[in-house]
Chain A
Amino acid sequence: MGMPTGVLGLLGTFVSIQNAKMIHYLLADHGIPYIEPGGFSQLPLYLKERNAAIFFGMPPYTYWQRNPEIGKIPPYRTDTGCYLISETYGTKNMIYIKDEKGLYTNDPKKDKNAKFIPKITAGELMERDLDDVVVERSVIEMMTSAKNGRQIQIINGMEKGNLTKALNGEHVGTIITSN
């Protein structure tokens, strides 16, 4: 229909809101709040009170979403939105839970010869210029200038116990570092 990237960014935000709300309802009996971008000033309070908060991952760029280098799909999506929150707030960990063990040399769902990469720097990963990556490329690029968010870990949420291990600082998936 000829929608510009800024409008695709807006539409993508709605999808992310729907998913965040469903997680919110699933966790409702734990008293976990759902916050919109304007509610982030309450984040420290919620974390102190309830140990968690849910937000939709899209950065709220909406009509101000920049064009990608190629194509029209918004380049700054939910991986980036979460990463930037970890960068600004200086969180202890930035963990991405996916349905793969982590980063491979190619999409392991399509390529059986894809090799697992347990640890890599953002610079090396950019140099490799892989056809498919497990986390948004803008996150990898931003990591090269990060002040706080200098490490991320991608883990497989299909394996029980992985998240607890990753929260304890264990290496269970792919770790990408700034340098």
Chain B
Amino acid sequence: MENKHHNHIDSLYMRESLLDKKVMAIGEGSSTFKMLPYVHIVKIGASSFIDKGREATYPVVDKMREILKKEKLVISTGGGARSKHLFSVALDLGMPTGVLAQLAGEDALGNAHILGTLLSPEGVIAIPPESIGHLLPLFLQAAPGVIYAGMPPYSIWEHPSKKGNIPSHRTDSGAIILAETFGFKTVTLVKDVDGLYDKDPKEFKDAKFIDKINVNELEKMNLKTLPFNRVVIDILRNNKSCTHFQVVNGNNPDLIEDSINGKHVGSIIHNDLYEG
């Protein structure tokens, strides 16, 4: 009898170079499975809130408590002022970009644990990046949310920066890549400004608010300051599941809930696949 289960496996990529453009394009346009399509990721800017202490942070945390009663959340944060100080010390000592990225992970983890302490009554704790990946679906079945120390685990594998030595993949990027991989429903970056402006609104009174923009247009504008990591532009352009994110002002914590509910209350940055 013919053995139908012989050892030969017909595989698309066998004997092909993964560096051949024709081979690389295979799979383009095919659907991607969404692991956690009911989960929202909310990134709370550390410079905007945690660094300013209780007065700025508690109202945002109280709002998170309220939202956690209804929605499943991944809450992420950054290193804020401590990372900025670290960068200046480490650069003075001649540390390479990869080392800066490695060390900054600890600042974000510290802030994640601060949020984790405040949200402990809700069963929401900080999970270090090494275990959050494959365990995320389990955590979110067990608890209303988890806190992710926002630095992606690039560490000493951080890309060389196009300008200067500051790591390009920081906490905003971490949130957006995670949203793409897990197929989250919404991505909200919570800052202390209303959203995106054509120049820094804290310095220029005539700065114009941008309520919605395509990422390609945003790149063309070549703005000097952005309220998020610049590399987010390159990441979002190639995203398939996570086609947009919203920057909102957390000084009005209600806007965080509005953003999760799909309301346009800040600046929406989107790619070509966005339907909205």
Give the size range of A's interface with the partner. 35 or more
Which listed segment binds B: A19-27, A44-52, A82-90? Answer: A82-90
- State whether the Cβ of B160 lies closer than 8 Å to any Cβ in chain A: yes
Contact with A along B220-242 (1 / 0, CB 8 A): 00000000000000110011110
CA gap between A73 and B19 in the complex, in Å:
10
Complex interface residues of chain A between 63 and 108 (CB less than 8 A to chain B)? 63-73, 77, 81, 84-85, 87-90, 107
In the complex, residue of chain A having the shortest beta-carbon distance to the beta carbon of B165: A147
Q: Say whether A70 contacts B28, CB under 8 Å.
A: yes
- The number of residues on chain B lying at the interface, defined by a beta carbon within 8 Å of a beta carbon of chain A, is 49
In the complex, residue of chain A having the shortest beta-carbon distance to the beta carbon of B177: A64
Q: Say whether B19 contacts A137, CB under 8 Å.
A: yes
CA gap between A60 and B160 in the complex, in Å:
16
A84 is contacted by which of B21, B153, B157, B239 (Cβ under 8 Å)?
B157
Q: Say whether A64 contacts B178, CB under 8 Å.
A: yes
Report if A2-B31 is in contact (Cβ < 8 Å); known contacts: A63-B181, A88-B98: yes
Q: Say whether B98 contacts A10, CB under 8 Å.
A: no
Complex interface residues of chain B between 120 and 156 (CB less than 8 A to chain A)? 130, 133-134, 152-156
CB distance from A68 to the nearest CB of B (A): 7
CB distance from A179 to the nearest CB of B (A): 14
Q: Say whether B30 contacts A67, CB under 8 Å.
A: no
Q: Say whether A4 contacts B33, CB under 8 Å.
A: yes
Q: Say whether B27 contacts A61, CB under 8 Å.
A: no
Q: Say whether A148 contacts B158, CB under 8 Å.
A: no
- State whether the Cβ of A59 lies closer than 8 Å to any Cβ in chain B: yes
- State whether the Cβ of B195 lies closer than 8 Å to any Cβ in chain A: no
Q: Say whether A71 contacts B162, CB under 8 Å.
A: no
Q: Say whether A6 contacts B96, CB under 8 Å.
A: no
- State whether the Cβ of A132 lies closer than 8 Å to any Cβ in chain B: yes
Which chain B positions have C-beta within 8 A of A40? 156
B28 is contacted by which of A66, A72, A85, A89 (Cβ under 8 Å)?
A72
Q: Say whether B96 contacts A90, CB under 8 Å.
A: yes
CA gap between A65 and B31 in the complex, in Å:
18
Which chain B positions have C-beta within 8 A of A1? 33
- State whether the Cβ of A62 lies closer than 8 Å to any Cβ in chain B: yes
Q: Say whether A63 contacts B178, CB under 8 Å.
A: yes
Contact with A along B17-30 (1 / 0, CB 8 A): 11111101111101
- State whether the Cβ of B252 lies closer than 8 Å to any Cβ in chain A: no
CA gap between A68 and B177 in the complex, in Å:
12
- State whether the Cβ of B117 lies closer than 8 Å to any Cβ in chain A: no
Q: Say whether B241 contacts A4, CB under 8 Å.
A: yes
Q: Say whether B96 contacts A148, CB under 8 Å.
A: yes
CB distance from A22 to the nearest CB of B (A): 19
Complex interface residues of chain B between 1 and 53 (CB less than 8 A to chain A)? 17-22, 24-28, 30-33, 35
Report if A72-B27 is in contact (Cβ < 8 Å); known contacts: A107-B20, A132-B19: yes
Which chain B positions have C-beta within 8 A of A37? 155, 157
Report if A87-B96 is in contact (Cβ < 8 Å); known contacts: A62-B133, A71-B25, A147-B165: yes
- State whether the Cβ of A53 lies closer than 8 Å to any Cβ in chain B: no
CA gap between A154 and B78 in the complex, in Å:
39
- State whether the Cβ of A7 lies closer than 8 Å to any Cβ in chain B: yes
Q: Say whether B20 contacts A88, CB under 8 Å.
A: no
Q: Say whether B32 contacts A4, CB under 8 Å.
A: yes
Report if A63-B133 is in contact (Cβ < 8 Å); known contacts: A87-B98, A147-B165: yes
Would you give 26 A-B contacts (Cβ < 8 Å), ordered by A? A5-B181, A37-B155, A62-B153, A63-B177, A64-B154, A64-B169, A64-B178, A67-B239, A67-B240, A70-B28, A71-B24, A71-B26, A71-B28, A72-B28, A81-B157, A84-B98, A87-B96, A87-B98, A89-B156, A90-B96, A131-B22, A132-B20, A134-B19, A147-B96, A147-B97, A148-B96
- Rank and list the top 6 A-B pairs by shortest CB-CB distance, nearest first: A6-B181, A88-B98, A59-B157, A2-B33, A64-B152, A67-B238
Query: B residues near A, CB below 8 A?
Result: 17-22, 24-28, 30-33, 35, 96-99, 130, 133-134, 152-162, 165, 169, 174, 177-178, 180-183, 234-235, 238-241
Please give 16 more A-B residue pairs, beta carbons under 8 A apart, in addition to A60-B157, A68-B238: A1-B33, A59-B154, A62-B153, A63-B133, A64-B178, A66-B177, A66-B235, A67-B239, A71-B24, A71-B26, A84-B156, A87-B96, A131-B21, A132-B19, A135-B19, A142-B159
